[in-house]
Amino acid sequence: MRCKWIHSTIMALFLVATSSAWAADIQVAEQTPHQLVATVTDLLLGDIADHRDTFDENPESFFEALDGLLADVVDFNWIALKVMGSYGKQATPEQRTRFASAFRCELIETYGRGLMAYGEQDIVVLPPVDDINGLRKVTVVQEIRGNDGVFPLTYSMGMNRDDQWKVTNVVINGINLGKTFRNQFLQRAQKFDGNIDQIIADWSSKS
């Protein structure tokens, strides 16, 4: 598996949903989903600036920083389960955990490479069009603005049982990552006759 930047300690934190200090500050502030995305974006732009010159030689360092930044903002477990579709119900808890790990790796790298490609432009969060008070599912739209045009990023946000906003899907410039990964899982399921262990192994080998 290529994602050497996912250390065992990070995975342990992921599995028990522990909070880092900066993430706790974000949650304690009880920000709206738009404010949360804006706050994380500010931190993200700093990470992009810190790693831009070394990204080609050492992308893992940026991915590790990105993973730490998004650990308590993105609901990796929920997204991975949705990607598995009906196979998620058939899978054992251990299989779901292994797939969530492989999926998290690929999502971070796909999202990270996309952001790094546009990282020198302005990234802004558009204000909500309608009143979102009382809603538990919200769409947050960002725009990456540069000389080549405007590239939209759309985040599906959901409030979990702890009343914390989490990202549940991302659409980058019209590409729905949730649907893309779900189609990839189904293709592997057909290839391996629904053998979940083989699907995970093949996914990990290409992540």
State the Cα–Cα distance between residues 99 and 139, nearest whole angstrom.
Answer: 26
Placement of tokens 């934190």 in the chain: 13
Q: Which domains does the chain have, with CATH numbers?
A: 8-205 (3.10.450.710)
- pLDDT above 90 covers a percentage of the chain that reads 55
Mean pLDDT of the chain: 83
The pLDDT, as a whole number, for residue 120 is 64
> pLDDT per residue over 37-96, tens digit each?
999 988 988 998 999 999 999 999 999 999 999 988 999 999 999 999 999 999 999 999
Placement of tokens 């990470």 in the chain: 47
Alpha-helix runs per DSSP H in the chain: 8-16, 21-28, 33-51, 59-70, 76-84, 87-90, 93-118, 177-191, 196-205
Q: Which residues, other chains included, contact 75 with Cβ-Cβ below 8 Å and sequence gap of 6+?
A: 158, 160, 166, 167, 168
Which residue type occupies 194? G
Is residue 14 within 8 A of residue 104, CB to CB? The reply is yes
The beta-carbon contacts of 167-175 under 8 Å, at least 24 apart in sequence, are 167/70, 167/73, 167/74, 167/75, 168/75, 168/78, 168/79, 168/82, 169/79, 170/111, 172/111, 172/114, 173/114
> pLDDT per residue over 163-204, tens digit each?
899 999 989 888 898 999 999 999 999 999 999 999 999 998
